[in-house]
Structure 1
Amino acid sequence: MTDERPQRRPQHDRPKKRDVNGWIVLDKGVGMTSTHAVAAVKRALSAKKAGHAGTLDPLASGILPIALGEATKTVPFIMDGRKSYVFTVAWGAETNTDDSEGEIVERTDRVPDASEIEALLPRFVGQIQQVPPRFSAIKIQGERAYDLARDGEVVELQARTVEIDRLSLVHHDGDRSILEADCGKGTYVRAIARDLGRAIGCLGHIAALRRTRVGPFTEEDAVVVNDLATEAAALRPVETALSELPSINVSRDMAGRLMRGQSIILRGREAPLSGKIYATCGGVLVAVGDIERGELVPHRVFNLGA
């Protein structure tokens, strides 16, 4: 009898993992989880270390910034960045997930017209109070809200302050509307659709969602997994995540001190007086930190060959 079990791939035949440092701006497709997207990029580039900057639901497509190697140290700066979305709201029903993947919990025959929608949009611009969806990654006593909701538990999330810079109606046709939003950290577009539907009195949920910008990364920067034959064409520098911070060039001796976690004294008229800053040496990122009493105190140091 022949043994037809698949043969294990010899260890020496497996691609060797490499030190890859930088950002890949992935255009994630619908149906792929953020975790699977990271794994696909990591595998395509044979990278040792990778992580994403902000989960994108499987239902959603668009910009998913993926940090490789030393870039993972700059993820918080991207997470705090502004985001842009284009999304479709289906009117007439509310679901338990606030999108089309959930179960319908309430219906109505009411359908809004464009003027009703536009009249209420200003209510959702600026700093507003928003209750996150029950199916979200927010933790309740150490448990993810979506895990509790899937187990049938009643999930009660508290409203929190979020900031929406722009919310506009792009197209309206019967029971569907396409909108665009620019917003800050922690904003749930699914909650915008839900709350807008309730405010109009017609109910609503997300039917399609695409993220078009995250911090400095836009659709013009994005690539799909199949185009990652080589990182040279797609890999963005680590310091791209720090584009909104001032920078300063330091000497090799100063770079050495920063790399050891030691502060350096900044002199000269152009030296910042306060705030966050990043330092480079010979065009290579060395550290990011805070200015305190005329010194740069490093909080993150980078091993990029400075």
Structure 2
Amino acid sequence: MTASQRPRVPRRALDGVLLLDKPLGLSSNDALIRAKRLYLAKKAGHTGTLDPLATGLLPLCFGEATKFSQDLLEADKTYEATMRLGIRTTTGDAEGEAIDTREVTCDEAAIHAVLPAFIGEITQVPPMYSALKRDGKPLYEYARAGQTVEREGRQVTILKLEILACALPDVTFRVTCSKGTYVRTLAEDIGEALGCGAHLVALRRTGVGALTLENSVTLDALSDAAESERDAWLQPVDALLSTFPLVQLNEDATRRFLHGQRLKLSELTITGDAVNAPRVRVYAAQGRLLGVAKQGEGVLAPERLVVTTAG
């Protein structure tokens, strides 16, 4: 029997969120393809890429959960990273070639002293080895051709930055940052502030919004598990929406909401944090997730609806 004659394995209409602990050396897209194949899922997507050099939390969305993946793209991220002082590389990380070597004369106290300058809103110049596009072409294509193009600085926010371990020339730190932050660039800039340069040698993402590695699973564990065990690793769709205040509708309001109708806030019972929230997650009276909505100008307006829910 040839490959074209083999019966196609039916795909499953699966809804949920998988908190994957991505391994080293695998792209986010390859990790997604492997997980999708293991689950035989019809529809899947990830919520923002991790470089092959990076490990850690990669939330994968199946089915209806893909409608809310954009919310995690916008979310703050937390990383644990190790930078090596004294060496700059072409890529800003261990995959590149050394282009500058300097003596490391600072101590741990000096490192702690420069960190406050990198907390809050800062300006970063995106690295040449990045997927940002210039004239329709990714920057890394220019870099591989030996070209450097002008890049404008971008404003990002460093919410938290702390040293976890210091064994010079290596320094391990934890950072919580806004979307669009390059941790490689942060390490390089800290190295320059210390006068010796630096590059990233390890990067692990530990948090995306309210999601953490606590309930994550590896591809190896998924591969070894039975189908029922794999399904047990799936989080419900609303795991992506846990930071949104909750609104619950009665039967009549649920019916109208699912038909895309805007509901008058004066006719609804909205309490707690949801009263003044611009966006909320919406449930039926029996606890079924209906979707997310925007509040304003006296109405609750459906934004994205859930067709089916898992769990």
> What band does the TM-score fall into relative to the shorter chain?
over 0.9
Is residue 118 from structure 1 mapped to residue 112 from structure 2 by the alignment?
yes
1:288 maps to which residue?
292
Tell me the SS of whatever aligns to 2:3: coil
1:191 counterpart residue number: 185
Identity of aligned residues (%): 38
The answer on 1:262 being equivalent to 2:261 is: yes
Matched to 1:62, the amino acid is G
Aligned to 1:8: 3
Say whether residues 1:200 and 2:204 are aligned partners.
no
1:18 aligns to what SS in structure 2? coil
Moved over 6 A (4+): none
Specify the alignment match of 1:236 in structure 2. Answer: 235
Amino acid at match of 2:200: I
How far, CA to CA, are the matches of 2:112 and 2:46 in structure 1? 34
Residue 129 of structure 1, CA deviation: 1.0
Looking at structure 2, the residues matched to 295 and 11 of structure 1 have their Cα atoms a distance apart, in angstroms, of 54
Distance in 2 separating the partners of 1:111 and 1:22: 50
CA RMSD of aligned residues (A): 1.8
The residue that corresponds to 2:275 in the other structure is 272
Alpha-carbon separation, structure 1, partners of 2:119 and 2:45: 31
Offset at 1:111? Answer: 4.3
Contact between 2:247 and 2:270, CA under 8 Å: does it hold in 1?
A: no
1:80 aligns with 2:83: no
Supply the distance in 2 between the matched residues of 1:111 and 1:10 (Cα, whole angstroms).
Answer: 67
Q: Does 1:248 align with 2:247?
A: yes
What is the TM-score normalised by the length of structure 1?
Answer: 0.92
- The 1:169–1:305 alpha-carbon spacing in structure 2 relative to 1, beyond 3 Å, is closer
2:129 is aligned to 135
| Structure 2: distance between partners of 1:269 and 1:105 | 59
Number of paired residues? 300
1:268 corresponds to which letter in structure 2?
T
197-206 or 153-162: bigger deviation: 153-162
Say if 2:153 is the partner of 1:154. Answer: no
CA distance in 1, matches of 2:118, 2:183: 11
Q: Which residue number in structure 2 is paired with residue 51 of structure 1?
A: 45
Q: Report SS of the residue matched to 1:40.
A: helix
Residues 41-84 of structure 1 show CA distances to partners (whole Å, capped at 9, x for unaligned) of: 10010001111111100001000111111111111211222211
Give the whole-Å Cα distance in 2 for the aligned partners of 1:76 and 1:181.
22
- The structure 2 residue matched to 1:102, chosen from 96, 99, 116, is 96
Which amino acid in structure 2 is aligned with residue 254 of structure 1? A
Distance 1:269 1:62, change over 3 A: closer
CA contact (8 A) 1:287 1:298 kept: yes
Provide the C-alpha distance between the structure 1 equivalents of 2:70 and 2:136, rounded to a whole number of angstroms.
Answer: 21
| TM-score, with structure 2 as normaliser | 0.91
Distance in 2 (CA, whole Å) between partners of 1:263 and 1:292 is: 11
Q: Does 1:301 align with 2:305?
A: yes
Letter in 1 for 2:246: S
Q: Which residue of the partner structure matches residue 181 of structure 1?
A: 175
Give the unaligned 5+ runs of structure 1: 1-5
